[in-house]
Every structure is written in structure tokens, then in C-alpha cells.
A and B are shown apart, each in its own frame.
Chain A
Amino acid sequence: MGWDGRIVDGTRDDLPFAADMELNWELTTRWLEAFLRDEVQRRRGFSRVVVGLSGGVDSSVAAYLAARALGRDSVYGYRMPYRTSSQESLDHAQLVAEDLGIHMITHPIAEAVDSLLSHDAGEVSPHRLGNVCSRMRMIVLFDQGFKLGALPLGTGNKSERMLGYYTWHGDDAPPINPLGDLYKTQVWSLGRYLGVPDVIVDKPATADLIRGQTDEGDLGITYARADLILQGLLSGYTAEQLIDRGFAPDEVEVVRARVDSTHWKRQLPTTAMVSDTAIGEHYLRPVDYAR
């Protein structure tokens, strides 16, 4: 007697972790709005936020979320151009501010950056200039926040954070960040859901330091591929297992190498421990303790 039943290959042929990438954006938005209200208003006692508007999708999405969560009158968007910043970036930042009806202030950083660098005869590479601009923008944002009684809002996404594609104590400095656990491709999707203008969501991501520069060109991989590989690695798959599931060895290596070389950027400064009361080692309190 033979087997008459149907033979079915029941093996899943999709990537089990890829399904987690497309989120319910209505639910996610509600969650992030609640996060902003709790962290800004209830825990920290602020009613306003300041956010740097670069004209890119990350800062735009952060501004849209903040306006929904806190009200447009509570959001202050800052354009902080350097000499290399493109007019298109400035225009897109203005588009966001006008669409939302939030406050918009333009605070150029060129004079401060050039003054700082003029005291040093060393070479100013794009990388070095990018770091100085990033940190200068944070000086402006924190100072303006102090003046207004407003909390600086972070806009870095999970892809940048995992790949180390940001300036330590620069872009990552603001005390709260609604986007830090969303990959770049997820921020694009969230931007479309929130109604961020297509011209902003659809343009290539760029640090805006050199004409024609793009994030994906700098990284050597598209965010679409990098995000899937990151999600696989963070879900516990080894590089070999990802290659076995169809990723190219060189693209996995690009991501793995960036992640492994930038763990330090995702940490506070390393402190030499000499006692049994070391902060963060023995003395451990959460960020919102007694608030």
C-alpha cells in the first residue's frame, strides 16, 4: 500500500524576522505620542520641546509626532544651517514647519563653526567638519531649550545608531528620542503614515555636508538591505545563518563590521572604577527615579 496523501513542503520560505519590520503605524503612532507626553510632561515637567529640523525625514517625523502629542504651539523647530547646507534642506524644513504650524527659528551655525576651526591649522576633513557641526547644533538646541524652558528632542533612528553613523555626543545628545528603536526604513513608512510631504520622504537620506553625498553611499549598502541584516543579527542570527538565507557575504560583513566597531558609541563614557559605590555599577537608579 503506497502513500496516497498529498506531499506538502511546509517549510517557511520567508525570513521569520522580516515580518516584524512592517508595523501597524496607527498603533505605533499612538504609542510614540503617549511616550512623548509621559516623558516630556509627566516625568520631566516640560510643556515644550525644541527639535532641529534638517529637512530630512527623521527630524520631520519627530516634529510631526511632537506636534500631535504636545500640540503645535509646544514645538519649536530650529533650522541650523552651515555654509554647505543645501537650500533644498532649508526649504524642506520650512515646509514641515508650515505644514504643522509649529514655531520655526533659523539659527545659522557657520560663524561659530568657522570661528572654532580658525584657531587650528589642521586639516578639516568632511568627517571632522560633520562632527563639529553636529555638536554645534546641539549647543544651539540645548541653549535655546534652556531659554524657552523646552526639552531637546532626539531624532536619530535605530539604523544610524546600530551602524554608528552619527556623532557621539552630537546627534545622540537629546535626552528623549521617539525614533531610536525604529529602523530607517520604518521611519520612512511612519513618515508616509503621518503625512510628511513626499518630497521629504522620497529623497535620498543625506548628512548634507558635501553636494551629492548620501547616507547609503557613505555606508556602502542600502538601508533596505542593512535594516533586514540588522534585524536578523539583533534577532540572534549569525552572519553565516544570514548568508545561508540569501544575503550576500559582503553586505553582511559591511553591517557586522560597522556594528562591532561602534559599540562604544552606544554607551556612556567608560569610567575607571576605584570604589564599591561606583555610579552605574553599584549605584544604580533608573533615569526617571523619584520623578
Chain B
Amino acid sequence: MSQRHEADRRGAKDPDDIKRDTSAAVAGEPAQLTERQRAILVRLLRAAYPHDSFPDGPYERTADAVIAATADDQRLARTLGPDLDQLDVIAGGDFCSVDEQTVTHWLREYSEEPYFRAIRGIAVVALYDDHEVWELLGYEGPSVDQGGYLHRGFDDLDWLPDPRIEEYDGEPRPDIITSDTQGADA
């Protein structure tokens, strides 16, 4: 992207911002989390987006994306660490060792809290844009350099018959159907 293009985007939104109202947000430095706070965040993300087949890597990278995105919103940058500490308090010491069902139950109570909504808005973009996650879910990513899917299975579904691709060649579709026209048809 050219410098001019970058300049043009100043004040514009990033994908990880699109679920938040940033019309009054102040940008600055990202949150400085302790190792403990980051570990709580990773556990929270795994509980919020549980996939049994996912290793820790995607959740770790998502946590770092959440932390980085706080640079766009100083209010979130200030409150993220203390809000995560609070989860240890709720757990009576170690949030990271609590089972998924219990964590989910607690998080339900906080579902509409601004910090949890903000974390989700950022995390849902970062986690599912992770290329390791694409592979785990069975998505093949960029295709044009490989000639698209023309010779790589765009039509390999074989559990249904091949359907018609041309338009219907019988009577034309009525644009307007009223009780009168239905009567006339019958």
C-alpha cells in the first residue's frame, strides 16, 4: 500500500474494530499485560470459542491481537488488565484451572459487558483469520495462483445428482400472483 493510501485511511476503521463504536475512541499505546493476565486472556478465549481440535497456538496469537488492538481504544487499554485480574478473583484464585462449563457459566453473566464484547469483536476476526485455523476447519484459502478450483474440485460434490444450470424453459414465471390469477391457473 502506498504512503498516500495509508494517509487516506487515517481515522478509518480496521477489521478488528468493525464491531465496536470507535467514533469517540482515543488511540495510544496498547495495554501492558502481565504474563498472568495474558494467560487468563488465552483461557478466556478458549472458553469463548471452544474447538477441541485446536492447539494453543491460534488462541495465543488471538490474545496478542486483542492486546495489540487496545492501542485503538485507550479506555479498553486501561481496563483490560484489571478486568482479567477480576476473573482470578471470581475463580477464587486460578481462573485457568476452572473447567469449561463453569467458565462459560460465568462468562454468560458478563456477555453484554463492554470489555467482553470488545474482546469478542477483536478475537472473532483474529482467530478465524488464522491460517492454521483455516486448515483445521478445512478451508483452502487463496486459490487464483493455483488456477482457482476449476481443476481442483469446484464441482466434486457427488452425493446429489447434477442439477440443471439453464433457466427453466417451460411457461414463464408470473410476476404477480393474486387470488384471481391463482384461480385462473386452476
- A, B assembled together: no
A-binding residues in B (CB < 8 A): none
B-binding residues in A (CB < 8 A): none
